[in-house]
Amino acid sequence: MLISTAYAQTAAAGGDMQSSLMSMLPLVLMFVVLYFVMIRPQMKKQKEHRAMIEALAKGDEVVTAGGMLGKVTRLSEGYISVEVSSGVEVQMQRSAVVQVLPKGTVK
């Protein structure tokens, strides 16, 4: 005979439910750790960036995502004009601003 006989096991009354909950515990624990280590800090960073973008004002000195330094000359709903050199203005999206520098940094 090539095939052996298989026998079914009898189900335990209450131990089966407890073991399934214990097997899911590491998965739930990993999700909680992932939330506090990765998701929550990223949401906080996005909220701070959004507040910085909304607080931009004419005359602020900024660094863009491309690494350009300049002074904000005009503001509109979704775009800003940044003077990168005397007489040279570049128009870009507000979200391209990465950091607002202290006054007097850009000369």
Cα distance between residue 86 and residue 76, in whole Å: 21
State the average pLDDT over residues 35-54.
95
Of all residues in the chain, the percent with pLDDT exceeding 70 is 92
Domain spans of the chain? Answer: 14-55, 57-101
Cα distance between residue 32 and residue 35, in whole Å: 5
The pLDDT tens digits of the residues spanning 9-27 come to 665 555 677 888 888 899 9
103: CB partners within 8 A, 6+ apart: 59, 61
The pLDDT tens digits of the residues spanning 71-101 come to 999 999 999 999 999 999 999 999 999 999 9
Q: What's phi and psi for 93, nearest 5 deg?
A: -75, 150
Structure tokens at 98: 């990465």
CATH dotted code for 57-101: 2.30.30
State the average pLDDT over residues 23-46.
93
Can you give the pLDDT at residue 89?
A: 95
Structure tokens at 60: 């602020």
CA 44, distance to chain mean position in Å, is: 8
21 compared with 42, residue with greater pLDDT = 42
